[in-house]
Amino acid sequence: MNILNLDLDFFLHETVYHTEDSYNTRAEDLPPWDKLEVINFLENVLGLSKSKKIPGFIVESHHEVFNIWKKLYLQNNLNIPFNVIHIDAHADLGLGDSSWTYLLKNLLKFPWNQRISPKFGGNDGVSCGNYLSFAIANRWIKRLFFIVNEQWYDDIPPQLLTTESFYYWSNTTVRRGNHDLEIQLRSITESGINKILYSQKKFHDVALDIFEPKVPLAIRTLESIQNDFMSTEWQYIFLAKSPGYTPSTADYLIDEISEYIQQL
């Protein structure tokens, strides 16, 4: 099962980080793609067609899809684990907040099928910048493809990577390229967190040997994927408006993209 996960901020020629996702904080200076560029990408890279719409949802902030996935799963309308093709200006895995502390110290204590209702909000709960990590903690995601645009810079949380991927990533000088990493969540204690925060210890030296299943993370550049997904069978498509990360001049693209979505 393949989930197409779009964020409007992908279709911009510049990117903003660490802002409130609100209509009160529009990123008005960021230039959006031209309409024809977006249509070409949707049809000739992703294989979408206006005559064969994909069932899906349009949300304001991207973390809203976590609860939609939850609802679909509980209704037996979403088979787990599924592949996510994440097309976004950001990885949405949690860099820049403290969600990893709650996720790895608290949430992972529960059996995987009892993690379905994590806390939302604050600096450590589910948000638009980390919801994919919480989906991984629920073992919903089988493989994550992250397609990056020309403005992306590294926002992959090192605490989520396997030891091998962590050291590979640490020694990689060109982050914006094609990389095959692995995510593997590991439990950690309060003592371990304090050692990282106050004793400059590395996460992989103090985390517990309690491992979640590995999730391949394939990072691919926009220009490299070409027509890789042209024959992909999409089960659902999601589009986030992300108003705090996009200008009002990009809003017209919502209507353009919605022509490929059979809204549920």
- Residue of 261, 249, 262, 264 lying closest to 6 (CA atoms): 261
What the block records as the tokens of 158 is 């090192």
pLDDT of residue 57 exceeding 90, the answer is yes
Query: Which residue is listed with tokens 């985390």?
Result: 207
Sequence letter at residue 205: D
Q: How does DSSP assign 6-49, residue by residue? A: EEGGGGBSS---S---SGGG--TTPPBPPHHHHHHHHHHTS---
- Residue of 249, 264, 174, 240 lying closest to 8 (CA atoms): 240
More confident call, 67 vs 228: 67
Q: Tell me, rounded to whole angstroms, the distance of Cα 160 from its chain centroid.
A: 13
What the block records as the tokens of 161 is 């990577």
Kindly indicate the confidence band of residue 32, based on its pLDDT and cuts at 50, 70 and 90: very high
Structural domains in the chain (count): 1
Map residue 50 onto helix, strand or coil.
coil
Lowest mean pLDDT among 19-28, 230-239, 253-262: 19-28
* HSE-CB for 37 with a 13 A CA cutoff: 13
Digit-coded pLDDT (tens) for 208-256: 999 999 999 999 999 999 888 999 999 999 999 999 999 999 999 999 9
- Residue of 263, 258, 246, 262 lying closest to 39 (CA atoms): 258
Mean pLDDT of the chain: 95
* HSE-CB for 212 with a 13 A CA cutoff: 34
In the beta sheet, which residues pair with residue 67? none
Digit-coded pLDDT (tens) for 79-124: 999 999 999 999 999 988 899 999 999 999 999 999 999 999 998 9
pLDDT of residue 227: 83
Kindly indicate the confidence band of residue 20, based on its pLDDT and cuts at 50, 70 and 90: confident
Kindly indicate the confidence band of residue 18, based on its pLDDT and cuts at 50, 70 and 90: confident
- How far apart, in whole angstroms, are the C-alpha atoms of residue 89 and residue 183? 19
pLDDT of residue 212: 97
Digit-coded pLDDT (tens) for 142-179: 999 999 998 898 999 999 999 999 999 999 988 999 99
pTM score: 0.96
Kindly indicate the confidence band of residue 17, based on its pLDDT and cuts at 50, 70 and 90: confident
What the block records as the tokens of 131 is 């919801």
Sequence letter at residue 156: I
Mean pLDDT of 49-78: 97
Q: Tell me, rounded to whole angstroms, the distance of Cα 136 from its chain centroid.
A: 10
Domain that residue 120 falls in: 2-263
